[in-house]
A and B are shown apart, each in its own frame.
Chain A
Amino acid sequence: MQVDIERSGGFGGLTLHASVGEEQLTPGERAALERFLSQPPRPPSGPDRFVYRISLRGRQAIVQEDEIPPELRSLLERLDGAWDWPPPTHH
């Protein structure tokens, strides 16, 4: 299975996607992700911050940029440059 991550918001409002194999998660990342998957989303942290939607096995978490813990930040940093853009065109 894979973890699908969407980053939306920011000043630009560009919505980007990336995914990473579930097996590539470190135990710390896995535990942090599990916490977010089992809690309700928090309200927006402020204007033009990024918002992450993280989906795994049919469950999803909405995570505001400023509540990303260090364990998940390392995962997002691994995705730098791997964000899928431009989005797939739909004709």
Chain B
Amino acid sequence: MSPCFIVPPELLERILRLGQAADREAALATLSIDHSIRTNRIQNAFLAAIPRRRHHLVHGGRGRPHRTIFDAHHRTDVHATTVLRAEGQPPCSDEDANHAYDGLGDTYRFFWEALSRDSIDDAGLPLLGEVHFGRNYDNAFWDGERMMFGDGDGRLFKIGGFVRALDVIGHELCHGVTQSTLNLLYTGQPGALNESISDVFGSLVKQYRRGQTAADSDWLIGEDLLGPAVRGVALRSLRAPGTAFEGDLQPAHMRDYRVTSSDNGGVHLNSGIPNHAFYLAATALGGYAWEKAGRIWYHTLVVGAVPPDAHFHTFAQATLRTAGVLFGVASEEWRAVAEAWVRVGVLSAAQLG
């Protein structure tokens, strides 16, 4: 911790974590005032202020996941389950369970190594996964406590596809992160934002695992997941929303925002807009997407003071504030984020001043 830094990091942490929204705004604004001392010292102090809460009792310590994979035995009723593999155990005879175990581990490792986040709640929350949920079940979801994996029906989705798709696991686990940070509603624009955040970090988990730069990434969600009845390469594309499969109706710009009463107000459709904004910012900045754009998005989740009913523009403004704190207002990073939101029609150039 830099002795030169003007605000004690402990105080900053308290304000950012525990303060009312207005106080957090003020703390962020304070950090934004003195451009002359911004650079690394501010950045490091800001990052040091990201809380280090820990619950060592339940697992081996920070930096290590605590995973348990359960067998749902093809049922959907609550947790009539048995344990297939617990943390530290060697692979079991159920390959799906081993894939889920590895995917949760890779996701944990991304959040820890790239963002210093200790599991879903940043306090070492155990990661629970349930495989073989339901019969021919074409879905995976986060139920607020566990990650549930269907087997897929072999028609729309490959059998065993969900547990083998690291971006699916990253996506679902990130719903837990969003729940424990912004707690965004799951309908309309806040819902689409919720979906987009999961797609962004799902993609980053995959990129981190593969060691890919923004330029190398395919920016696809759910490739190798589609069964023979769906013609396409993936479920979603952050690079080119609306092109992932035949029938993909995701917009990439606000002028194409889709008003619908299906899918809780099109949360999996309109997520294409903030998804594309992230892609534009990340590729403009180059390098590993989690180092700049990913960090800006992540710290917006943690300290961005974004309300649960936030629309895209509220989140966009918050990413700009975060970019200003982390890298400086009008820095290359700030400008890349601003430009991205303008290009998808969420912010206007005039609003940026």
Contacts and interface: CB of A to CB of B under 8 A. Distances in A.
A10 B235 CA distance: 11
A15 B261 CA distance: 12
A47 B194 contact: yes
B314 interface: no
Interface string A67-90: 000000000000011010111000
Given A48-B172, A53-B262, A86-B247, A13 B268 contact: yes
A47 B146 CA distance: 12
A86 B232 CA distance: 11
B247 A12 contact: no
B243 interface: no
Q: Which of B162, B236, B268: most chain A CB closer than 10 A?
A: B268
Given A8-B263, A62-B261, A48 B156 contact: no
Contacts of B268: 9, 12-13
B303 interface: no
Q: Chain B contact residues (Cβ within 8 angstroms of A): what range?
A: 35 or more
A11 B156 contact: no
B269 A48 contact: no
Interface stretch (B27-35, B98-106, B133-141): B133-141
A14 interface: yes
Contact of B262 (A8, A47, A49, A81): A8
Contact of B263 (A13, A43, A87): A13
A86 to B, nearest CB: 6
A12 B267 CA distance: 11
Q: Which of A10, A12, A86: most chain B CB closer than 10 A?
A: A12
Given A11-B172, A13-B235, A86-B246, A50 B262 contact: no
Contact of B235 (A12, A80, A81): A12
A51 interface: yes
Contacts of B263: 8-9, 13, 15, 51
A11 B186 CA distance: 13
Interface string B302-331: 000000000000000000000000000000
A23 B65 CA distance: 53
Nearest to A83: B156
Nearest to A68: B76
B264 A9 contact: yes
A85 B264 contact: no
A69 to B, nearest CB: 13
A12 B186 contact: no
Given A85-B229, A86-B247, A48 B262 contact: no
Contacts of B261: 53, 62
Contact of B230 (A9, A14, A50, A80): A14
A63 to B, nearest CB: 12
A10 B225 CA distance: 14
A11 B141 contact: yes
A85 B230 contact: yes
Contact of B139 (A50, A83, A86): A50
23 contacts: A6-B262, A9-B264, A10-B138, A10-B139, A11-B140, A12-B222, A12-B225, A12-B268, A13-B235, A13-B263, A14-B235, A14-B247, A43-B186, A46-B141, A46-B144, A47-B141, A47-B195, A49-B139, A53-B261, A80-B153, A85-B155, A86-B230, A86-B247
